[in-house]
Amino acid sequence: MVQGLVRYPGAGCVVEFMQGNAPQIAWVLAEQNGRLRLLLPNRRETALQAARIRPWPGPAYEKNCSRDAALEILERHKSRREVANVDPLELWELAQGEVEQAPAQWFAELAMSEPDMDAVAACGHVLMQAKSHFKFNPPNFEVYPDSVVATRMAELEAARRREELVNTGSAFIRLLLGIHQKKSPQSPGRAAESLDPDVRERLRRTIMNRIADPETSADDGLWKLMVKGLPDDPFLPLYLAQAWGLVEPHHNYWMDTAGYAPRNGWCNEIAQGLAGLVHSFNPQLILIGGGVSAQQALLIDPLAAQVRKSIMPAFAEGLELKAAALQNDAGLVGAVYYFKQQ
């Protein structure tokens, strides 16, 4: 039998109600026509319908108790209710085959021999948090069967990961935007490495998808949550990708929009020609000139890698392939030099 349970809470009774997502303890100052005037631990008063009280009211004290004494009592009960000595999963297992639903008192008596109202309230708090195994349907807690528990756990895990993605992604996107705007000196690569690999890949895919198709419905809800509060700029995904290093600063996003997938087929043919020259003359340095040589990431780097793959190891030792220092200005410098020699 639960000690201190009150059937109809009135003045002098300790009660609880939900404020946001947390239980709030209170002292009933007065009751009239189904409405309660309550004293809160912060000394403020509030009023609400009696129907909003959690179904574990009590214990009751003298209704003429002083406010200071009432606040002291509230603080004592609050500290006791914050300590839960019950395992919700153990309660769920014990309830299997016994009941389909029951009040918090029943579960408290299942776990303890003589629970008081603080123990019942603490048990109720724990059961309310175990959303994968119980459903709070006042005044009872419905006990989910195995099949529902498996589904609920998968749903809650998906919701948890989505929340993590939104929170992490929102912070990371703001960092990238700060880098793009030259407001943050932080390294995007280091920040990206600190992310969970799945979160990092999801963010990368979301940004690149929105570059290719700004009107895409894929991850639209997720994207709106992550960029909430940021300027509505159609080029935002491109700025983020450039700041992250996913694309070059000169990246032509129209290629993504058209579905063009860049390939290095052209590189193979040039590399084969250079490989023949290397095998014939065994040079230590190959210079690529002209305006196109300014494209280090798009030309020089992939070409150098392909040449090394195409030649024998002995010829690769010490071989360098790089852009000519004068790039597209070689002709102009040569002309000036010729003019000065006249």
* Domains of the chain as residue ranges with CATH: 1-144 (no CATH), 157-257 (no CATH), 265-331 (3.30.420.40)
Would you give the DSSP letter of residue 329?
G
Is residue 255 predicted with pLDDT exceeding 70?
Answer: no
Per-residue pLDDT reduced to its tens digit, 86-111: 899 999 999 998 999 999 999 999 98
3-state SS class at 38: strand
The model's pTM: 0.57
Lowest-confidence pick of 27-31, 181-185, 210-214, 249-253? 249-253
3-state SS class at 44: coil
Measured distance CA(134)–CA(303) in Å, rounded: 62
Share of the chain above pLDDT 70, in %: 95
Per-residue pLDDT reduced to its tens digit, 257-310: 666 555 566 778 889 999 999 999 999 999 988 877 777 777 788 889 899 999
The amino acid sitting at 54 is: R
Is residue 44 predicted with pLDDT exceeding 90?
Answer: yes
Measured distance CA(214)–CA(202) in Å, rounded: 17
Whole-number pLDDT of residue 113: 86
Would you give the DSSP letter of residue 213?
-
